[in-house]
């Protein structure tokens, strides 16, 4: 729920402005990977609903041509994806996203930025600015 609120908040702020497109893309990838992680967790319930969803997903994956690589009906493969691969992918993408936010800074509100050049300039850092004046 927090990822959805964060995603929509940053979307309406146009947070991709000022050279922050890669930051926006990594956030979107983190969101998609977390949705896939939730989906695989839902499939691990092993009840009628999860079995029905698994076979619907199998048909969808076969329809787009990637069904040979993913077998959502195989509980062991879904467990491997859910426990090891997808959490690792979420951690890596979120870490990259945080690093990019730290590098580029937080985007100013729409009315605060007068030009794209102002958005591209690094945010003032009081710690380094005071050392430069000495």
pLDDT tens-digit map of 66-85: 878 877 778 888 899 999 99
Tell me how crowded residue 116 is: count the other CB atoms within 10 A of its CB.
10
Domains annotated for the chain, with CATH where assigned, are 2-108+121-132 (1.20.810.10)
Rounded to two decimals, the pTM is 0.71
Residues in the chain: 134
Paired tokens of 126: 């009081």
Q: What is the DSSP string of the chain?
A: -HHHHHHHHHHHTTTTTTT-HHHHHHHHHHHHHHHHHHHHHHHTT-SHHHHHHHHHHHHHHHHHT-TTT--TT-HHHHHHIIIIIHHHHHHHHHHHHHHHHHHH-PPPPTTT--SHHHHHSPPP-HHHHHHHT-
The pLDDT, as a whole number, for residue 134 is: 52
Rounded distance between C-alpha atoms, residue 67 and residue 64, angstroms: 8
- pLDDT of 113 > 80? The answer is no
pLDDT tens-digit map of 25-65: 999 999 999 999 999 999 888 889 888 988 898 899 889 98
């Amino acid at each position: 729920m927090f990822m959805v609120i964060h995603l929509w908040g940053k979307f309406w702020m146009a947070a991709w402005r000022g050279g922050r497109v890669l930051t926006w893309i990594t956030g979107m990838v983190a969101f998609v990977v977390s949705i896939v992680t939730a989906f695989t967790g839902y499939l691990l319930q092993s009840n009628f609903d999860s079995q029905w969803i698994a076979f619907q997903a199998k048909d969808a994956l076969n329809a787009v041509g990637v069904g040979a690589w993913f077998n959502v009906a195989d509980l062991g493969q879904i467990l491997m994806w859910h426990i090891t691969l997808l959490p690792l992918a979420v951690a890596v993408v979120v870490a990259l996203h945080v690093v990019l936010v730290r590098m580029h800074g937080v985007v100013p509100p729409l009315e605060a930025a007068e030009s794209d050049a102002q958005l591209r300039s690094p945010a003032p850092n009081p710690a380094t600015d005071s050392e430069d004046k000495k």
